[in-house]
Amino acid sequence: MVLSNRRDVRALEVAERHGLEHRVLDRSSFADGPARDAAIGEAFRAARCDLVLLAGYDQVLRPTYFAAFDGPTINIHPSLLPRHGGSGMMGMAVHASVLAAKDAQSGASIHLVTQDLDAGPLLAQARVPVLPGDDPETLAQRVLAVEHRLLVDTLADLADQAAEGWADLASASMTDRS
């Protein structure tokens, strides 16, 4: 199942082309964020999803999501968590923060989503050097290329683990794919 909070995302087109269930849960359709998050969780629960992936989702999931869906949810984040994670660390703000901190490297992290923002157990990371002359946009382009590869590799690893059950997901050792 593919859910989106925006109508103009490519994932919806791909889902349509492949006959997958998909829909948009627009913010304006709900009284507030907690109601929307409960609906998102309920949609995944009703569809019997084994795993939820957040990719490009720029909202914080509230407790109502976790009450409705108790399966594993993973997120991809454009930094080497725990650095440059947490409140306000989305999109170009992450890359600007990396540059302002004068970090020698950045990268991407995949982590288990918990109610503590960007603080769930790390599943995988890939590193990207910060180059002289980088600005947030050039760094973002290099990190995005690594994110895509990291995501595919991590999902393949998780699919292998799924045969054994999800119980050990939170205790899985982190993979560094630099």
Give the CATH number, domain containing residue 30. Answer: 3.40.50.170
Same domain? For 67 and 81 the reply is no
E strand map for 52-157:
52-54, 73-77, 105-112, 122-129
In the residue annotation, 22 being an active-site residue is answered as: no
Regarding whether 88 and 34 lie in a shared domain, the answer is: no
Q: How far apart are CA 75 and CA 6, in angstroms?
A: 18
pLDDT tens for residues 100-150? 999 999 999 999 999 999 999 999 999 999 999 999 999 999 999 999 999
* Whole-structure pTM value: 0.88
Q: Which is more confidently placed, 48 or 171?
A: 48
Active-site hit among 18, 22, 77, 148: 77
CB 4 within 8 A of CB 11: yes
Q: Say yes or no: 82 and 63 in one domain.
A: no
Whether 73 shows a pLDDT value over 70: the answer reads: yes
Phi, psi (rounded to 5 degrees) for 118 = 55, 25
Show the domain range for 127.
74-178
**For 13-59, what is each residue's pLDDT tens digit?**
999 999 999 999 888 899 999 999 999 999 999 999 999 999 878 78
116, 138: one domain: yes
Residues 134 and 59 both lie in one domain = no
Domain count, the chain: 2
Residues 96, 67 share a domain:
no
Task: Answer yes or no: do 22 and 66 share one domain.
Answer: yes
pLDDT at 169 over 70: no
